[in-house]
A and B are shown apart, each in its own frame.
Chain A
């Protein structure tokens, strides 16, 4: 099953902690978004393999934009 991770708000990608092929456990931090000078961590909602990453560090992103996909 594929799980899509989308940004809940706009901001900029401060840290990208995974790459395609990485295996993650539920709760692992996938990336950290900087929003209004706050760091907002995005934890993995499910365990699985990161199959696609659509953003890079420093990218300005928008609400609802697709960040990455996890296949479990």
Chain B
């Protein structure tokens, strides 16, 4: 086909200029994406094109595109190129804050992002490239999955051969090898939705994105349920159920979150996370920490105040704030070095381990284990969530999965007992051979006194002349036993600390575990699944 377009005079000369011109012309046509009308429509709906998204993500001029010549040409009767439809997935190397990554995204201006033959090949290649070059992978999603019409290319009606490599193996391998960050920027359905969640960090645009296993038309046909895209899979649904980690106001906000996530991460499992310069003194003490936990055990406190205080100023990056809210997870820095942060939020269901919270915690630990990130655990765990809803949600199974995940980790842990540490659930907050320090407000035991007294001393309380007074008396006696002082005397914790000293303690701990980190690099016994 190509030979047909070569002009006669060109074949007789020594130059390849005609072909070089055609390469340039194809490049130009590829940059036109779905055409001016389709781009205007995309903009009219308040969304960027995939190339604009990539430009927003990458350092200026750093895109090195892979497969820009892939696509479908159209020729006239004379064999002259008259049009070129580029593959509707843009893929390449690029840099974020000077560090190379792999980036890809569907082009919604063509076929609504439903893969063209070359587009499908490029999209599948994204994970393979990331694994091969050991580079972080960013996917910027907007598009539907397959169409019953097929990908529309020649041979498209042929099913894959039996010896074709398993399609999703590279997706799983990428998650076990390099950081994968994804964004939903428009409607993301079917296969792209599956790839969106096959990530270590995902974010969706509140203004423009929906995530759908299947869209409204398919749902209505199959289920008789009439729902809009937002009702089915808008941010209010998916940042609350854990499908997507974070929500950002718009596309630019999503990209900023991805850049921030990547700043904490190593390039791959064979490297340690980068250490940044740090202006925040390691010995900084915070007077406010002495009063942050109320002496009245019934009164809640703001765990995020403690987090903001003890890590490098402004470094905390929360992941999954909208779901499993009794558990707080994220990344932060101590003296410039990345650590995983896990804490309880007693303002939400008393900080108890719910089914969602447990799944969030498990994924968090798997992330840290995969990328050899030390874990800082700020403990205020009253135990598994109880009640009929908790039973329906299989809390005990998801919770125990979190407990066993913690038991299998090999990364260094430090656990700070802030307040409560009770039941089986609390075991998830301590790593094997972890360093444990306790605030004076710490209480621990098989279960909180208030619940335990009613069960263990029910008859005693009922028989007393003043049952309420007897109950309070028993509670007081028993809560004295849950104090951290006897525990420290028995070497049940490494130390009791003045809360004001928490940051210096954490920084010293992180310094001590440095020699352990290099030996953790490489594949882990278990990695992370969505």
Main secondary structure of the interface of A (DSSP, over half): strand
Indicate if the CB atoms of B298 and A39 lie closer than 8 Å.
yes
Chain B proximity of A16: nearest CB distance (Å): 17
Q: Is B22 an interface residue (CB 8 A)?
A: no
Q: Which of A35, A36, A37, A39 has the most CB of B within 10 A?
A: A36
Chain B proximity of A35: nearest CB distance (Å): 6
Chain A proximity of B358: nearest CB distance (Å): 16
A65: chain B residues at CB < 8 Å are none
**CA of A1 to CA of B376 in the docked complex: distance in angstroms?**
42
With contacts A37-B448, A37-B450 taken as known, whether A8 is within 8 angstroms of B348 at the C-beta atoms is yes
**CA of A36 to CA of B351 in the docked complex: distance in angstroms?**
9
Indicate if the CB atoms of A40 and B347 lie closer than 8 Å.
yes
**CA of A63 to CA of B348 in the docked complex: distance in angstroms?**
11
**CA of A39 to CA of B450 in the docked complex: distance in angstroms?**
14
**CA of A14 to CA of B17 in the docked complex: distance in angstroms?**
82
Indicate if the CB atoms of B382 and A36 lie closer than 8 Å.
yes
Contact string, A16-55, partner B, CB cutoff 8 A, digits 1/0? 0000000000000000000111111100000000000000
Contact of B349 among A36, A39, A41 (CB under 8 A): A36
Chain B proximity of A52: nearest CB distance (Å): 23
Contact string, B287-316, partner A, CB cutoff 8 A, digits 1/0? 000000000001110000000000000000
Contact of A37 among B325, B347, B350, B385 (CB under 8 A): B350
Main secondary structure of the interface of B (DSSP, over half): loop
Q: Which of B325, B349, B448, B451 has the most CB of A within 10 A?
A: B349
**CA of A1 to CA of B348 in the docked complex: distance in angstroms?**
28
Contact of A9 among B298, B348, B382 (CB under 8 A): B348
**CA of A41 to CA of B451 in the docked complex: distance in angstroms?**
22
Residue of A with least CB distance to B451: A37
Contact string, B344-358, partner A, CB cutoff 8 A, digits 1/0? 001111101000000
Chain A proximity of B299: nearest CB distance (Å): 5
Q: How many chain A residues touch the partner (CB < 8 A)?
A: 9
A9: chain B residues at CB < 8 Å are 348-349
B347: chain A residues at CB < 8 Å are 38, 40
Chain B proximity of A12: nearest CB distance (Å): 13
Indicate if the CB atoms of B298 and A37 lie closer than 8 Å.
yes
Residue of B with least CB distance to A9: B349
With contacts A9-B348, A9-B349 taken as known, whether A39 is within 8 angstroms of B382 at the C-beta atoms is no
Chain A proximity of B521: nearest CB distance (Å): 41
A39: chain B residues at CB < 8 Å are 298-300
Residue of A with least CB distance to B298: A39
Residues of chain B from 366 to 386 with CB closer than 8 A to chain A in the complex: 382, 385
Indicate if the CB atoms of A35 and B349 lie closer than 8 Å.
yes
Residue of B with least CB distance to A38: B350
Indicate if the CB atoms of A36 and B300 lie closer than 8 Å.
no
Chain A proximity of B326: nearest CB distance (Å): 9
With contacts A36-B350, A36-B352 taken as known, whether A41 is within 8 angstroms of B450 at the C-beta atoms is no
**CA of A8 to CA of B347 in the docked complex: distance in angstroms?**
9
Residues of chain B from 479 to 512 with CB closer than 8 A to chain A in the complex: none
A35: chain B residues at CB < 8 Å are 349-350
Residue of A with least CB distance to B347: A40
Residue of A with least CB distance to B420: A38
A36: chain B residues at CB < 8 Å are 349-350, 352, 382, 385
**CA of A40 to CA of B350 in the docked complex: distance in angstroms?**
9
**CA of A9 to CA of B385 in the docked complex: distance in angstroms?**
12
**CA of A36 to CA of B297 in the docked complex: distance in angstroms?**
12
**CA of A36 to CA of B349 in the docked complex: distance in angstroms?**
6
Indicate if the CB atoms of A38 and B346 lie closer than 8 Å.
yes
Indicate if the CB atoms of B451 and A40 lie closer than 8 Å.
no
**CA of A40 to CA of B385 in the docked complex: distance in angstroms?**
16
Residues of chain B from 435 to 456 with CB closer than 8 A to chain A in the complex: 448, 450-451
**CA of A41 to CA of B300 in the docked complex: distance in angstroms?**
8
Chain B proximity of A5: nearest CB distance (Å): 15
B451: chain A residues at CB < 8 Å are 37
Chain A proximity of B183: nearest CB distance (Å): 27
Chain A proximity of B357: nearest CB distance (Å): 12
Residue of B with least CB distance to A37: B450
Chain A proximity of B39: nearest CB distance (Å): 37
B352: chain A residues at CB < 8 Å are 36
Chain B proximity of A56: nearest CB distance (Å): 21
> What are 23 inter-chain pairs, A to B, with CB distance below 8 A?
A8-B348, A9-B348, A35-B349, A35-B350, A36-B349, A36-B350, A36-B352, A36-B382, A36-B385, A37-B350, A37-B448, A37-B450, A37-B451, A38-B299, A38-B346, A38-B347, A38-B350, A39-B298, A39-B299, A39-B300, A40-B300, A40-B347, A41-B300
Chain A residues in the interface with B (C-beta under 8 A): 8-9, 35-41
Chain B residues in the interface with A (C-beta under 8 A): 298-300, 325, 346-350, 352, 382, 385, 448, 450-451
4 A-B pairs closest in CB distance: A36-B350, A38-B350, A39-B298, A40-B300
